[in-house]
Amino acid sequence: MNWFSIYVLNDEWEIGQANGYRSMGKLTGSLEWKNLVRHAEVLKRKHLKTLFNADTARFERFSLTHGDLLIDFSKQRIDTTTLALLRKYAEFSQWQTWRDRMFAGEAINHTEGRAVGHWRLRAGRTAPDDVRDVLGRMERFCNQVRFADWVGFSGKPIRHIVNIGIGGSDLGPRMLVEALKAYHLKGVRVHFVSNLDGADLATTLEELDAESTLFIVASKTFTTKETMTNANTARNWLLQKFSGEEKSISRHFVAASCNVQQAERFGISTENVFPFSDWVGGRFSVCSSVGLSVALAIGFERFQQFLGGARDIDQHFFSAPIESNVPLTLALLSFWNGSFLGARSEAVFPYSHSLRLLPAYLQQLEMESNGKRIDRDGTEVDYLTSPIIWGESGSNGQHSFFQLLHQGTELVSSDFIVMAEPDFSPPGHHDGVLANCLAQSSALAFGKSSTELEPEEIQDSWGDYRCCPGNQPSNTLVLPTIEPFTLGQLVAIYEHKTFCLGVLWNLNSFDQWGVEFGKLLADRLRPVISGNVSPEMYDASTRGIVAHFSKLKHK
């Protein structure tokens, strides 16, 4: 019996308080934290050049492999003592206990009283019955659409799928559909609409023929204003095309949601709702029915391969020891850079056009999860939490903001993500991509001193301007190629990294109260914008801007 069966078969997914949790106290006052602070003072004075020169086995010492994946972190500003101290801290943080609690289905999302079960969505044969039921229904549905057993209201096969969702109900599937272009089935195109700004939906609809279009309303809650506004407009557009025939809705709208009742109220019949449970967080939901657009784009079999990749990392994360645990190691490095070396941001550079939406996906995953200031014990933290995550596909980024990394004043740790083999292969491109990726991480790490200037560079008086200090840390993640399985691995690595970081900072990574606050204010302001409520109770800036809107509207 494997580890999954042990968990899944033994418990009935009992949701209670995470018992046995001991308060962490003030993290910065702990011996483990203080040791890292002291050690950072030493490491801050060391250059990566010196660290590499001092240790010929640095790459072997500071890299991990998992199957065909390589994770090279030798260009991080660490030495063996750093890793030892970080691992001591990890033990102090009880990372293993928290991990096991997550896999045991405890309500570790304590502020919402929920378990954290995205890993259950890909547990294969040991997944809960309802998860397997939905996967079975998704498979049938994908095949029906693919082989035109499912047709539109007027009998036309489906040629366009439009995923309407936002945040976790958009960024994950959008990133994957883009990344897996090489695997797209012929005859169907997948579009994404997320923005409340009507330009998003309007320009998408312009291209579409209602008779061959299927909308997926992806929303965990089925109440998100942006999504419901877009879904209602799309519904009206469809009804207009079918002369108000309500029955057309059930052939052209399906839903991925926890809120089946609300989806039905919208007009989507129960059999067209693909549900998931509330123990799946929005930003962790791409392996749920929120991934339906991905399954329709690449076929269900390949979607299963994607889930298989994620499962492979779940098993690794659950069973690998601290020294070889990939997600934990990445989290420890992030923790080190942010909390001890002072890096306020972390960049993600996929050296792949197909993976260019990865930074946006990771922004939500990491910043919505760990952009917090109150810890699990209810105390305000006195350390930096989530770094600002940003990035762009590698080759493009080099010609815009890389200058700041090379010669600016910010310490930034970067993740370079690169594929040994390309997904599209016009000759003469991929070697250049690999060379650029390696050149950038080397240039950032080792820099260029005045003694390393080329002869032609010292003939004028601009030598100082040409020098690059280096010492910018990075990880390089090498994947064999872009395929569903490896992307499943990549997604799960970052999901578990995010979880581990939350544990290291003693945060609950699974709520997002700040976002809820913004939503509430927008709801209150709506009637003010429409002119139905006076803005007088608002601040001077809001009042001034509202007045200016009105002036421009009535010009």
Binding site for ligand F6P (CB under 6 A): 166-169, 219-221, 224, 227, 282-283, 368, 512, 515
Closer to ligand F6P by CB, 224 or 498: give it.
224
Task: Determine the residue type at 430.
Answer: H
Q: How far is the CB of 118 from ligand F6P (least distance, A)?
A: 12
- Residues labelled catalytic: 368, 399, 519
The answer to whether the beta carbons of residues 549 and 530 sit under 8 Å apart is: no
- Spatial distance between the Cα atoms of 443 and 471, rounded to a whole number of angstroms: 9
Closer to ligand F6P by CB, 44 or 225: give it.
225
H or E stretch covering 202: helix 198-206
- Spatial distance between the Cα atoms of 511 and 369, rounded to a whole number of angstroms: 7
Q: In what order do the strands lie in the sheet with 412-419?
A: 63-66, 69-72, 474-479, 412-419, 345-350, 388-391
Q: How far is the CB of 388 from ligand F6P (least distance, A)?
A: 17
Q: How far is the CB of 498 from ligand F6P (least distance, A)?
A: 13
342: left (phi over 0), alpha (psi -120 to 50) or beta: left
Q: How far is the CB of 312 from ligand F6P (least distance, A)?
A: 25
Which pairing describes strands 388-391 and 345-350: parallel, antiparallel, or unpaired? parallel
Closest CA to 294 of 203, 163, 205: 163
Q: Residue number with the shortest CB distance to ligand F6P?
A: 282
DSSP class of 184 = P
Closer to ligand F6P by CB, 370 or 512: give it.
512
The answer to whether the beta carbons of residues 523 and 401 sit under 8 Å apart is: no
Closer to ligand F6P by CB, 282 or 299: give it.
282
Q: How far is the CB of 169 from ligand F6P (least distance, A)?
A: 4
Task: Using the structure block, give the residue that is written with the tokens 């990726």.
Answer: 437
- Three-point CA angle 313, 9, 18, nearest 5°: 75
Packing angle between helix 225-241 and helix 198-206, nearest 10 degrees?
Answer: 30
Residue 78, both tokens: 């660490």
Three-class SS of residue 128?
coil
Q: How far is the CB of 193 from ligand F6P (least distance, A)?
A: 13
Closer to ligand F6P by CB, 289 or 474: give it.
289
Q: Phi first, then psi: give them for residue 372, nearest 5 degrees.
A: -130, 160
Q: How far is the CB of 518 from ligand F6P (least distance, A)?
A: 9
Contacts of 374 (CB under 8 A, 6+ apart): 380, 381
- Spatial distance between the Cα atoms of 396 and 50, rounded to a whole number of angstroms: 30
- Spatial distance between the Cα atoms of 100 and 146, rounded to a whole number of angstroms: 40
